[in-house]
Structure 1
């Protein structure tokens, strides 16, 4: 954010005489077709016109954290496990990510370990899924035939049988994965058997979740691993700007759930403040206290 933006913000006064925060922000989001970018677009729409947000297409969590660190973004979306250990502050936990390990429906594999030695794509370079993918390789002893393709490329590679599985982290259903399922029937492999060792090694960011029955035509729910998705910023984001964004998260929650995630994702005050090991920004904490005590 430019200094001039905040100087102008200091002069903006509402009709009731209180200072109205004004800012132009860049929000590092995610890939085309993913929940990150859809959410960022909805948030930008709800925040305007005084706090103006421009979503930025990125590879995902790792790139978003880099953009924040280099001051090329003001806000970012990230998986909680990727943000753990940074000096960032959270504005809220905005939804749950489901790790989805996708194979063709006719594949004989029934667990991640069954993919050992086979060609895989485990999250796009620069994404939080790639962090989990590297951990998955170690936990399931998958070998070295691993690539890191963007979602659309990974889906096409699976359709062409150039890879045998790909990992995606996002909401359910994800439209790109649903479209692939319409072309070639797919199936999700359960990851819940790896959860205890992942939590022992990497902490409480990983959670037990299930992809509901019916998603991608699954006859039963698929137990997998979930991780919170956080909206984060640097500690020096002004309190009034952090508070303004946080109020929109609470007060316009229903308008911030992308269509692709309706029924499986929602925002409320209880989930928003559950930011795991990433502390809330003081401006966000003040907004939550003001709204809910």
Structure 2
């Protein structure tokens, strides 16, 4: 009987132990109304499928900067982080990028009756630039600096949560707001449902200067016909969002996650509209943020998508 009980205990430990470990795979995303949250959920659904079978949980967070902090504390195992935040923050050395996901676009939203049609028209208007520490806030501060706005004026702008901006815009409490987001976005759909909106093009000499001095930004467009009343594609700037691994993701697990995603890329594209245009080479994106995780790099090299690093520059193997 004692032998039988011991055998049953071992079997239970074997069944519960891995499941418990797998359940601790937490993906930090962003606000519930942004694209990071459903994108993280799409990744979780994909990772839970065979053969990887890595159940995980998507966690709503304050965004890219908060995600880097939570990763460094060990509160998250993976997180979505904008490439500009990756490049301009000083994270602990144990954080690595697995791959890029969708493109994030700086989106300036205003009411159709606001009279705002260009960046120059924002002068003297009530502009919301997002929470301090967010990608929205950082990108807008750089843009307003390029436009020549005094620092004290920028500091006086409002900093609403994402969930508050649509109502504030349509209630005429603000005249415009900035949101760095993948499209389509439910938060912007909400604004379009509350009142007629338009997007402000992000272009001109100031934008040219910003792109020259900050190479991680790229020219992009917000596609037409994604939102009610917005019938034309809009020029703006953007950057990719990357999946970043915390210190507890060792080389074997990073390889397993990367293999699962890239071997099932068509399925991932179907899980959310913002992921529908994913392109393999852009996802690998060698120069778009934190260094590649050795586990992800090993998979890319095995597939012939990246050349092997010279022996002298091989990163140390990561273990938990």
2:86 corresponds to which residue?
A: 83
Q: Contact 2:71/2:79 (CA < 8 Å) preserved in 1?
A: yes
Describe the superposition over 1:66-113 as per-residue Cα deviations: whole angstroms up to 9, x where unpaired.
101211111110110001054431110111001100000112122223
Whose strand fraction is larger, Structure 1's or Structure 2's? Answer: 1
- C-alpha distance in 1 between matches for 2:281 and 2:248: 25
- After superposing the two structures, state which structure 1 stretch, 275-284 or 135-144, moved more: 135-144
The aligned counterpart of 2:290 is: 278
Please say if 1:103 is aligned against 2:110.
yes
Moved over 6 A (4+): none
Aligned to 1:256: 268
Which of 114, 119, 122 is the equivalent residue of 1:115?
Answer: 122
Distance 1:66 1:160 in 2: 35
Alignment of 1:37-116 (within 5 A): 37-48=37-48, 50-85=53-88, 86=91, 87=93, 88-116=95-123
1:28-39 equivalences under 5 Å are 28-39=28-39
Contact 2:166–2:194 (Cα < 8 Å) also in 1: no
Contact 2:22 2:56 in 1 (8 A): no
Partner of 2:300: 288
Report the secondary structure of 1:147's partner residue: coil
Distance 2:180 2:269 in 1: 17
Do the aligned partners of residues 256 and 124 (structure 1) sit closer, same or farther apart at CA in structure 2, a change above 3 Å counting? farther
Q: TM-score, normalised by structure 1?
A: 0.85
Matched with 2:225 is: 214
Q: Which structure has the larger Rg?
A: 2
What's the TM-score, normalizing by structure 2? 0.78
Q: CA deviation at 1:210?
A: 1.0
Query: Is this contact kept in 2: 1:206–1:225, CA < 8 A?
Result: yes
Which runs of 5 or more residues in structure 2 are unaligned? 1-13, 306-320
Deviations 1:149-193 (A, max 9, x none): 122201111011111111111122212212221221101101122
Where structure 1 has 5 or more consecutive residues not aligned to the other structure, the ranges are 1-7, 13-20
Distance in 2, matches of 1:219 and 1:66, equals 39
Q: CA RMSD in A?
A: 2.5
Given candidates 158, 162, 170, the residue that maps to 2:173 is 162
> CA offset at residue 138 of structure 1?
1.6
Q: Which moved more, 1:28-37 or 1:41-50?
A: 41-50
Aligned length: 276
- In 2, distance between residues paired with 1:249 and 1:25? 15
Cα 1:123–1:254 change in 2 (3 A) is farther
Q: Does the aligned pair in 2 maintain the 1:39–1:258 contact within 8 Å?
A: no
Q: 2 CA distance for matches of 1:132 and 1:241?
A: 33
